[in-house]
Structure 1
């Protein structure tokens, strides 16, 4: 993930130090909410620690560890609810204890606010390393059990056992918020499951289909030009005589070497990641997270792709890559799949993928799939099919394609996929966000409503309001608040 930085957010409080692109840092799975972690501690955001069992499903295993959490009591009024923000595939960002729509709701409703970091991410280290043997304790089921135990013990210690608890999350944590209400209805009264992919699937080509439509919403020619450029590069990678030029055009850290399909897939996915990430987070109000590059939007990318003065579509594609590199202060791009493999198989907590990349890709191999492949003809990229994604599971964790398929089937069997039978869960999604393709975008029943927000991206309703927000985004936030008001009276 040259390893691109997946910035995980709570909304993705969710998928890699995302410097939104193709770049350097951890894991390179194009995933959920990526959020920048601000390590500074603000007033009211001091980290706290909670004792958890290592394995909630083995009574004979007495091992424990310390899980990080944050608390904000500034809005709490006696008798008010408790809001629990669920952490995801990255470090919990204390900035969310001072910012976000959930705090607006908390102030109006007199809620106490808690945020629990997900096991194996951030500073919450249940094991001594990230070996595949250790990662067997990393799963959504264990995470839900963490939430249940945290809610039980904190309820007792704070005198809030009989208060009404509301779970919040976006992206993967949005799924956890829905599943927490589904599996532990006696502990959580309601959930706001934003941008939540509730259906697990091995192959997820629909992600890139939404990318096509989202680019086309700005300019119908934009995804066509992107496809021409991606196809051109895929052809160039078949001819070693072109490698020097490609190396120069994309400012690679070392001369391009294509020795097998994994090498070409990695490079092509890296370049596609520029567009994938910008679409996913298009115009989201993420400045408080410390995210850079937020000024690069679909409009900006499509303007570059449409600029004939830059040359043919290939040249414009290279210009986009340079634009993203400048935004994230990158000197060069590392196109080496072998380097990526080296980083992703480093099992140390100090390893280059320990910020979330190694852990999250493990979860995709062992639970969810979610592989954004180029297997559909209705998308703009070339060269990273499902087989390329699945081979990484084998290379990094010794998990076969058959095992991935079985794990995904078990996930849907356990949670129900789209067939959710519960109550008091609201599912906000944005039409620009590719993840809405695996989410709930129409009401299931009256108390399992969907809020589909036209023109917005990943987790947009969770971010602080601003004057330039689309009217439908403001209305969506208001609608969610009205639902919470109603549900807290039930």
Structure 2
């Protein structure tokens, strides 16, 4: 079965009813959350009524888009606004994991806005019917989401005293980073610049080799432990051997502490896909300190994982897979509080896997393949037709493989300005990222020791110098953009 990797990329909040069309509600909420010694003392939870369809002129209804606001440090009329372009999930989760914005708000005197992406979290255009069929899902597109953001900002500027001339900078990571870059490209009069962290805007057909993503995953494991990648490469055959019998399936279920026992070949295939995604997720969140992004993990988690996969001499399939089971439990049970492992879930429930799969089945078509030689996975070609058939069976739609490149310009982005593309050397999504300077104002910042959007996370004493330098440079660009905007105003 061909499918895109479902890899991606808790603030207190109160839901309030919306008001009339084109306006929004602010509700004061006192927060006492403390994260990494940073206190957020004031947050507003708001809703804006937006068109379900921005590009048609029939009355197709409205929906309530949720967004979060902090104006604690925004005291000056015309002060800047840092606007987070929400990803495929609950906006409170992204708000909680984007410490960079919180930490520079005081320095810039900035208002913070975290906008939720339509169809995720509480921003459901058709309520509980939003995912009922392809007709209701039809408005889940990046173009509609960008229009939501643009209208939301216009509404805020019209309604909030002192915000009319506020320069807005878009910030996002992963898919949210793609949106931040595209927001600046498509709506340059709305946002004066964008920070697109770990944003694979070139991970589309014909732009990068389909195997580049998994090569980086493999390199991360190869660098983190002796024979680590080689033993993972051997593990697939071992799984095939052991899963060929009913007793072997039961042994795998027990040694991996699975919640549901493996019963047949289909279960064994799902088990291997789960393990593959586990290794991918570890590469994404290989942070230099303990973190709880996708799962609670130790610092440099791949190094910890690889301690169980350092076999030198040939070992039996059972010995090898026992090591793999212990390695997998570093990811799924580092805290020791998990009683069993569920192979249907590999990350936090705050992410919207079904919504992202629909987007991958329509316009976010990102070819992935493995060869088992330059990477540590079983060989698996990219088969667009098989993927398209799966999308048709699941959603009744077929992907438009070339659409994202057409609508957003592909690799021809030199005419744009004021965009930072930051990428971590450990992050497999850097394979589709912009890793070279395009022009004087469309620039790349590389973080060799960085995993997935490390620069957007809170500062930590264990941060490598490369990410500290990246954040300082990003802040410098922000100041320049704000200065430019004020001159124009």
Instruction: Give the match for residue 73 of structure 1.
Output: 71
Contact 2:288–2:300, Cα closer than 8 Å, also in 1 = no
Q: Report deviation, 1:98.
A: 9.4
* Alignment-derived partner of residue 45 in structure 1: 43
2:222 counterpart residue number: 216
CA RMSD of aligned residues (A): 2.9
Q: CA deviation at 1:389?
A: 5.5
Is 1:437 matched up with 2:443?
Answer: no
Identify the residue that residue 317 of structure 1 maps to in structure 2. 324
For 1:257-298, what per-residue CA distance to the aligned partner results, in whole angstroms no more than 9, with x for missing partners?
3345xx443221101222211110111668586952354611
User: Is residue 428 of structure 1 aligned with residue 422 of structure 2?
Assistant: yes
Whether 1:245 aligns to 2:221 is no
Which residue in the other structure is 2:168 paired with?
Answer: 165
> Which is worse superposed, 266-275 or 246-255?
246-255
- Shift in alpha-carbon separation, 1:127–1:29, aligned structure 2, 3 A: farther
Question: Residue 192 of structure 1 is aligned with which of 191, 195, 201?
Answer: 195
Q: Tell me the residue number matched to 2:6.
A: 30
Distance (Å, rounded) in 2 between the aligned partners of 1:354 and 1:484: 29
Distance 2:98 2:174 in 1: 18
More relative contact order in 1 or in 2 (CA 8 Å, sep 6+)?
1
Tell me which residue corresponds to 2:27.
none
Give the match's secondary structure for 2:42: coil
TM-aligned CA distance change 1:198 to 1:473, over 3 Å: same
TM-superposed CA distance for 1:29, in Å, is 4.1
Deviation at 1:104, TM superposition (A): 2.6
| CA distance in structure 1 between the aligned counterparts of 2:295 and 2:13, rounded to whole angstroms | 14
Give the structure 1 partner of residue 22 of structure 2. Answer: none
Structure 1 gap segments, 5+ residues each: 1-26, 344-351
Contact 1:76/1:111, CA 8 A, preserved across alignment: yes
CA deviations 1:166-185 (Å, max 9, x no partner) are 00000001000000000011
Task: Give the Cα–Cα distance (whole angstroms) in 2 for the partners of residues 314 and 289 of structure 1.
Answer: 26
Deviation (angstroms), 1:198: 0.5
- Give the TM-score, by structure 2 length: 0.82
**Alignment-derived partner of residue 18 in structure 1:** none
* Consecutive unaligned residues in structure 2, runs of 5 or more: 15-30, 32-40, 485-489
Rg comparison, structure with higher value: 2
Residue correspondences, number: 440
Name the structure 2 match of 1:254: 260
Paired residue for 1:83? Answer: 82
Q: Describe how 1:69-468 pairs up with structure 2 within 5 A.
A: 69-78=67-76, 79-93=78-92, 96=95, 100-128=99-127, 129=129, 130-131=131-132, 132-159=134-161, 160-201=163-204, 204-219=210-225, 221-240=227-246, 242-260=248-266, 263-283=267-287, 287=291, 292-295=296-299, 297-306=301-310, 312-327=319-334, 329-334=337-342, 356-370=352-366, 372-375=368-371, 377-382=373-378, 386-387=382-383, 392-399=390-397, 403-404=398-399, 407-420=400-413, 421-468=415-462
- Equivalent pair of 2:4/2:367 in contact (CA under 8 Å): no
Q: CA deviation at 1:156?
A: 1.1
Q: TM-score, normalised by structure 1?
A: 0.82
> What are the superposed Cα offsets for residues 226-248 of structure 1, whole Å, 9 maximum, x if unpaired?
11112321343445563232222
Distance 1:94 1:71 in 2: 14
Once residues 212 and 474 of structure 2 are traced to their aligned partners in structure 1, the CA distance between those partners, rounded to angstroms, is 27
Contact residue 225 and residue 310 of structure 2 kept, 8 A: no
